[in-house]
Amino acid sequence: MRLEAPFRRSGEHIAADLPGAHVLFTTRRGGVSTGPYASLNLGLWTDDEAAYVHVNRDRLAAVVGVARGRFQQGRQVHGTHVRALDAPPDPGEEPAPADGQATSVAGVAPIVLVADCLPIALAAPGAAAMLHAGWRGLADGVVAAGVAAVRALGASGPVAAAIGPGAGGCCYEVGEEVHAAFAAHGEEVRNGPNLDLKAVARRELEAAGVQRVDDVGLCTLCADRDLFFSHRRDGGVTGRQAGVAWRS
């Protein structure tokens, strides 16, 4: 796994620093799950053993340096709602539908779970966010909603973004109806039958006023199988890795 600045290895995972925040994109390594979920499956709604998932999430919490109950997570529905919190989440609360999480609270870590969709971190001094961005969310405006949430929490200065591992333009073949959803972006986001989700995300981020966009440049579909979960490659039976952001 070759990484270029600002990305770096952090144990088995990928770390980066944005203005006012730390970011971690996990791999599938370093957990206790077995079979198609081996090994660091963080997906609460997969068919993995729940006890294994909770051990894995405890391990992630230790890496991030927060309690497991301080993860801020929603139930992802491929929508555009980004939940903005200025107080710690209730650890006993059932995750509400949301495809992005933003916070101004130190010690709280917004998290999304992915297995081909893009995890996108946003940060500016005073707030941090993490977005779950598949093609539907990108087409419907989840990026703009995420930037608005960071601003609504009082973040000052320019917003920066980091795009984590996800389906790349090298591999992400889609139908014409999906290409049509991004026709306004022109041919630059198309590679034959493939859609470049990361190019779409970059354009959406820039249109929303994000001045710095870093992309880790890793595709979950064609990377080593023991590095990332991939919903498409693995026929839908697979685990989830995470994107996590928290205030520095």
Dihedral over alpha carbons 101, 79, 124, 64 (to 10 degrees): 40
What is the arithmetic mean of pLDDT over 171-181? 98
Does 6 fall in a domain? Answer: no
The pLDDT of residue 140 is 98
Question: What's the pTM?
Answer: 0.98
The pLDDT of residue 27 is 98
What is the arithmetic mean of pLDDT over 55-67? 95
197-207 vs 142-152: helix crossing angle, rounded to 10: 40
Token pair in block for residue 148? 């608005």
Three-state DSSP at 98 gives coil
Evaluate if residue 68 carries a pLDDT over 80: no
Yes or no: say if 71 and 135 are a contact pair by the CB < 8 Å rule. no
Q: What b/e string do you get for 67-97 counting C-beta neighbours within 10 Å, with b at 16 or more?
A: eeebbbbbebebbbbbbbbeeebeeeeebee
Token pair in block for residue 105? 């609270």
User: Within a 10 A sphere around the Cβ of 192, how many other Cβ atoms?
Assistant: 7
Using pLDDT thresholds of 50, 70 and 90, give the confidence band for residue 13: very high
The pLDDT of residue 69 is 83
Does 109 fall in a domain? Answer: yes
Yes or no: say if 203 and 185 are a contact pair by the CB < 8 Å rule. yes
The pLDDT of residue 91 is 83
What is the arithmetic mean of pLDDT over 109-126? 98
Burial bucket for residue 206 (CB in 10 Å: 0-12, 13-18, 19+): middle
Evaluate if residue 92 carries a pLDDT over 90: no
Does 4 fall in a domain? Answer: no
Average pLDDT over the chain reads 97
Q: Give residue 224's domain range.
A: 14-84+97-247
Q: How far is CA 219 from the centre of its chain?
A: 13
CA-nearest of 138, 83, 137 to 111 is 83
Query: Does 10 or 2 have the greater pLDDT score?
Result: 10
Q: What is the pLDDT of residues 35-48, one digit of tens each?
A: 999 999 999 999 99
Does 51 fall in a domain? Answer: yes
CA-nearest of 159, 140, 44, 27 to 102 is 159
What percent of the chain has a predicted confidence (pLDDT) above 70? 100
Does 9 fall in a domain? Answer: no
The pLDDT of residue 40 is 98
Does 78 fall in a domain? Answer: yes
Using pLDDT thresholds of 50, 70 and 90, give the confidence band for residue 143: very high
Residue 78: its H or E element: none
Q: What is the CATH number of the domain that holds 105?
A: 3.60.140.10
The pLDDT of residue 135 is 98
The pLDDT of residue 67 is 83
What is the arithmetic mean of pLDDT over 9-18? 98
Using pLDDT thresholds of 50, 70 and 90, give the confidence band for residue 60: very high
Residue 82: its H or E element: strand 82-85
Q: What is the pLDDT of residues 23-33, one digit of tens each?
A: 999 999 999 99
What is the arithmetic mean of pLDDT over 181-197? 97
Evaluate if residue 97 carries a pLDDT over 90: yes
The total of structural domains in the chain comes to 1
Does 163 fall in a domain? Answer: yes
